Amino acid sequence: MTKIKQIVTGTIAENCYVIYQDKTALIVDPGADFSKIMNAIEELQVMPVAILLTHCHYDHIGALEETRTTYNIPVYVSPLEKDWPMNPTLNLSQSLLKPIIAQPAEYEFETMEDYNFDGIELRVVPTPGHSPGGVSFIFSDFVITGDALFKNGVGRSDLPFSNSKDLLKGIKEQLFTLADKMLIYPGHGEKSTIGQEKLSNPFFN
């Protein structure tokens, strides 16, 4: 059974996730506070095999290099944002005291494709709008929605390269077609379910 652990990182409380099954793990969006991520890995007694990025804004990639080099594992990203980790203007870190410049990702996702990482199975679906290459990761019992869909909210669409129409369209087509009982784990805030968001999310009611 695939399990999930949430780790809240950074000054704006970004959710990093460790997805694990048996002794294998994936790390989703290592945003900051690498020590927290490392402690969680040690507590779970798992071995990370890859880093998956829902999108490449700075609050989701702040600990990317430290995580990648510590565990010597590859990074997967949307081809639409393949240059963002290396570019502080694109990843919105240019105004920080220490802008983020990470190395390129080793692999680019194919959206609407299934992946199997040593027994951990998922589907990558496009949920753009907050950023052009935003994706969500669908597992058997839950979906990681990045900054597309939140509990009672959606991602910002007033940022460079954001698009509100794309955001709502992607959520409706890729997420609201999932089972109502499916848990959602967003890039910020608390978990919810697809059914609850269809019923009460103010952006769709």
**4 near 141, Cβ under 8 Å?**
no
**75 near 64, Cβ under 8 Å?**
yes
Q: What is the pLDDT of residue 205?
A: 83
Question: What are the percentages of helix, strand and coil residues in the chain, rounded to 5?
Answer: 25, 30, 45
How many whole angstroms separate alpha carbon 204 and alpha carbon 181? 18
Q: What is the pLDDT of residue 9?
A: 98
How many whole angstroms separate alpha carbon 21 and alpha carbon 4? 9
Q: Residue 43, SS3?
A: helix
Q: What is the pLDDT of residue 165?
A: 98
Q: Which amino acid is at 166?
A: D
- Pairing state of beta strands 183-186 and 142-146? parallel
Nearest CA among 82, 202, 198 for reference residue 135: 82
Please name the fold of domain 3-204: Metallo-beta-lactamase; Chain A (3.60.15)
Residue position matching structure tokens 């998956």? 52
pTM of the model: 0.98
Tokens in use for 135?
A: 């994706």
Count Cβ atoms below 10 Å from residue 155 Cβ, excluding itself. 26
Which residues, 6+ apart, have CB-to-CB distance to 175 below 8 Å? 125, 127, 136, 143, 145, 148, 149, 184, 194, 197
Nearest CA among 15, 21, 52, 53 for reference residue 36: 15
Give the sign of the dihedral formed by CA 140, CA 15, CA 4, CA 83.
Answer: positive
DSSP string, 49-61: EEEE-S---HHHH
Q: What is the pLDDT of residue 77?
A: 98
Q: Residue 97, SS3?
A: coil
Domain boundaries of the chain, sorted by first residue? 3-204
Residues written for the chain:
205
How many whole angstroms separate alpha carbon 184 and alpha carbon 182? 6
Q: What is the pLDDT of residue 82?
A: 96
Per-residue tens of pLDDT for the chain, all 205 residues: 999 999 999 999 999 999 999 999 999 999 999 999 999 999 999 999 999 999 999 999 999 999 999 999 999 999 999 999 999 999 999 999 999 999 999 999 999 999 999 999 999 999 999 999 999 999 999 999 999 999 999 999 999 999 999 999 999 999 999 999 999 999 999 999 999 999 999 999 8
